[in-house]
Amino acid sequence: MSILRLKKTALVGLTEEKVHLLDALQQLGVMHVIPLQEPQPRNPTEDSVNPERLKRALQYLLSCREKRRQVVRTRQFNLADMLTRIDHNRSQRLELMSRRDFLEKRIADLMPWGDFSFPAPEALAHQKLWFYLVPNFRMPAVERSGLVWCCVHRDNRHAYIVVLSEQEPDANRMPVARTLTGQVPLSQLEQDLEDLEIELEAIEAEREALTRWIYQLQRCIADTEDRAFLDEVTDQTLDCEEIFAVQGWVAEKHINALQQFAETHQLALLVEEPEADELPPTQLENPEKLQGGQELVSFFQTPGYRSWDPSRVVFFSFAAFFAIIMSDAGYALLMGLVLAYYWNDMAATQTARRLRSLAATLTVTSLVWGVLVGSYFGAAAPLDWLAGLKLLDLQDFDAMMRFSISFGALHLVLANLMMAWVRRTRLEAWASVGWALAVLAALLGWLQGFQAGHWLLFTAALLLVLLMSGQQQSWQWRSVIWGALALTNITKLFGDVLSYLRLFALGLASASLAITFNQLSVDVATALPGIGVFLQLLILLTGHLLNFVLTVVSGVIHGLRLNLIEFYNWSLADEGYAFRPFSKQEVTPWTT
């Protein structure tokens, strides 16, 4: 169990010290506050800063490629002036980039026409020049137009036509719409682009210089959110003339710290066990290297307080499912190289570090499984000693089907046994045991051939489900009705077990695609001597890269699906809500 046991606590103190005491309690950071009254809406103060503006400024600086050394002291920092400078820099940069994009496009459009300036209207007897980009196959229409025109440039796709006319020719006389060239000559546009690039470099340099204040902005955002959280809790306390009370949930291991806090600040402390009809929040705790499973669990569904934490099971089973779907040691090594490249970048936040640990486990597990099935980018092992480590054959359909079904069945057996443990105080726990035995009996019967013992165990398991599915603590006849309804889930259980066949199917699909790309590249190289070698490398690179991406996506989606749908259906019955500690955010100086 990694769901921490909680106590219901209450602190009582003097109202005149309420703000100071709540600030100290937030600094302690061990309580999930229970609202004792509804908070009142607060009007923003004049000196308050828009949190969205703060976050936008921070994100703008974080996206800068190069960053400066961080300033950790606040004596030179003025938040209002800094936000003004960042917003001004950001707006200038956006404007300059928009102008640069326009100039680059205009220059690219004018390049085939050359560098020219329009003559004065009198020089052409008040005739004007009209420009058209005409596809070569539509030039006969220009010749039939009856207009005065000249082709100033031609490439393999288009002809660049200049029409001389006092008014713009009618749309039906030219096969295409007119091209807008503007009045500014090409040389002037190129000069403007060069000046703009210099100005943009100065803006980027100023932006890079502003990145030294990233830590201070992060601290301001944390302070703003901490202050908002403190105001929220302040409105949720129970005030009664000269005293106030704050109530919340605290983990058992933090009770001593809360007692010391109460003694230090001369507060009255009440500690109680949660009532049977109360639903405390769920606070998960797992070893640091296994907290990636906790992230997956929290993302999908927070287990109930009186349930169990599936984080560790999900962590390892997801890694196993992902490895079976990938089924290639070469792809595992490639994923390891990608992870190594982003290793340091994934240390920025706690969540990123947890997912990095999960990704490392996926890589190692996939590598081991790839060696066991003997697949290296769809080819056989390059070394004899690696070939000796091959124990499984993906092309052995019967063996891989038995493996996938057995894996899925045992996964669901574990799910039902965990559900039985959660319901251990009720007769309903025996129904979960019955489902586990039913799956086990059916699996053994399928693998060994059904015999009398298998049928006897399967029947006894279904009788447990029939008689013990009621939610009472003692058996009653109404339990039979609940059991009859519960037995309808046998088709659902059968479908869930068969759903694990996707492990074999996706693993086989990945291996087959890799083999196909290898064979296709060899065929091309044989059929086209010389250039075939280049095409062979291109097919190998493109094909395996595509297959790698598809394999990773399939491994993530279907690996999570088998855990969070099939497994959860039989292991978790109650959904809870996450423990939200009343605490201050920690901000560490950002480093390059």
Read off the pLDDT band of 42 (50, 70, 90).
low
Q: Give residue 5's pLDDT.
A: 93
Read off the pLDDT band of 592 (50, 70, 90).
very low
Q: Where are the domains of the chain?
A: 119-182
Q: Which residue has the tokens 């703003």?
A: 224
Are 531 and 297 within 8 A, CB to CB?
A: no
Q: Which residue has the tokens 């999960």?
A: 358
The top-scoring range by mean pLDDT among 119-128, 468-477, 502-511 is 502-511
Read off the pLDDT band of 80 (50, 70, 90).
confident
Read off the pLDDT band of 243 (50, 70, 90).
very high
Over residues 382-407, the mean pLDDT reads: 88
Q: How far is CA 16 from the centre of its chain?
A: 46
Question: What CA–CA distance (Å, rounded) separates 557 from 212?
Answer: 40
Over residues 218-231, the mean pLDDT reads: 88
Chain segment 85-114, per-residue pLDDT in tens: 999 999 999 999 999 999 998 888 888 888
- How many percent of the chain have pLDDT more than 70? 95
Q: Give residue 210's pLDDT.
A: 92
Looking at residue 241, the DSSP 8-state letter turns out to be T
Query: Lowest-pLDDT range, 12-16, 73-77, 471-475?
Result: 471-475
Task: For residue 90, give Cα distances in angstroms to 50, 94, 208, 212, 256.
Answer: 17, 6, 12, 16, 50
Question: What CA–CA distance (Å, rounded) separates 418 from 432?
Answer: 9
Question: Which residues does residue 575 pair with via DSSP β-bridges, in sequence order?
Answer: 303
Structure tokens at 106: 């205009």
Chain segment 256-287, per-residue pLDDT in tens: 999 999 999 999 999 999 998 889 999 998 88
The top-scoring range by mean pLDDT among 1-10, 321-330, 416-425, 476-485 is 321-330
Question: Phi and psi (nearest 5°) for 328?
Answer: -160, 120
Are 13 and 267 within 8 A, CB to CB?
A: yes
Over residues 375-401, the mean pLDDT reads: 87
Q: What is the mean pLDDT of the chain?
A: 88
Over residues 186-203, the mean pLDDT reads: 93
| Total residues belonging to the chain | 592
Using DSSP bridges, classify how beta strands 243-251 and 31-34 pair: parallel, antiparallel or unpaired: antiparallel
Over residues 580-587, the mean pLDDT reads: 86
Q: Give residue 45's pLDDT.
A: 55
Chain segment 356-382, per-residue pLDDT in tens: 999 999 999 999 999 999 999 988 888
Query: Lowest-pLDDT range, 111-125, 328-342, 422-436, 474-488?
Result: 474-488
Structure tokens at 207: 């932006």
User: Is residue 77's pLDDT more than 70?
Assistant: yes
